[in-house]
Chain A
Amino acid sequence: GAVVSQHPSWVICKSGTSVKIECRSLDFQATTMFWYRQFPKQSLMLMATSNEGSKATYEQGVEKDKFLINHASLTLSTLTVTSAHPEDSSFYICSAREGKAGYNEQFFGPGTRLTVL
């Protein structure tokens, strides 16, 4: 099956610093990648959709300037949390899909746990 990796798996940083999370599709070309955020004991909430080579589409209420998404290649998307604060502490999960068709299956990464002190 298709494999999606995330790096790092966990990160602890000081308030005010920026953190970059990588999402890679290891054995397929991911035309579309999705970024989700999950707070403890809560569901996954879609943050943004990124298509290779174009700007990400952010969900309502997600700050574009705070959560920078870059999908520069067909196998890599990055999420940068800029000037992180304790309220940004969360579990960030990416998923990747081959093609843009809505019926194409998404494959999830293992997630990145961010703790901001």
Chain B
Amino acid sequence: AQKVTQAQTEISVVEKEDVTLDCVYETRDTTYYLFWYKQPPSGELVFLIRRNSFDEQNEISGRYSWNFQKSTSSFNFTITASQVVDSAVYFCALSGVNQGGKLIFGQGTELSVKP
């Protein structure tokens, strides 16, 4: 069975603080893909990153960075120097290569960045 757990339901920070969103996954597939999506109040999902299971290199994109650790089945997302525009719900998702492309989403973490 596949499962994604985002234990943090809500996080509130003050602008310019760093914040890390946790994601822990479970899968029996040896090849799989991990994703992060942002969902602003408008509802449209914004793709942030895709990582395959063979690539454990950390990724940095501007103020965003991702830490993928297979040993702990985690794929955490850090926003550095958070801004009000980062306020949204963030979803971590998993897709096993043998699952027909189905995406299994975590429960989501609602991030609120206050000025």
Contacts and interface: CB of A to CB of B under 8 A. Distances in A.
A12 interface: no
Contacts of B106: 43
A32 B103 CA distance: 13
Most buried by A among B52, B100, B104: B100
A41 B6 CA distance: 14
Give the interface size bracket for B toward A: 20 to 34
SS class, residues of chain B in contact with chain A: loop
Contacts of B96: 102
Contacts of A95: 103
A100 B100 CA distance: 7
B5 to A, nearest CB: 11
Contact of A102 (B50, B91, B101, B108): B101
Given A93-B45, A110-B44, A113-B43, A104 B101 contact: yes
A111 B98 contact: no
A93 B47 CA distance: 14
Interface in A69-111: 91, 93, 95, 97, 100-108, 110-111
A44 interface: yes
Given A91-B43, A103-B97, A110-B44, A46 B50 contact: no
A13 B107 CA distance: 29
Give the interface size bracket for A toward B: 20 to 34
Contacts of B107: 42-43
A97 B53 CA distance: 20
24 contacts: A43-B91, A43-B108, A44-B45, A46-B102, A46-B103, A46-B104, A49-B100, A49-B101, A91-B43, A100-B100, A102-B95, A102-B96, A102-B97, A102-B99, A102-B100, A102-B101, A103-B52, A106-B101, A107-B47, A110-B42, A110-B44, A111-B43, A111-B45, A113-B43
Interface of B: 33, 37, 42-45, 47, 50, 52, 91, 95-108
Top 3 closest A-B pairs, CB basis? A102-B97, A110-B44, A108-B45
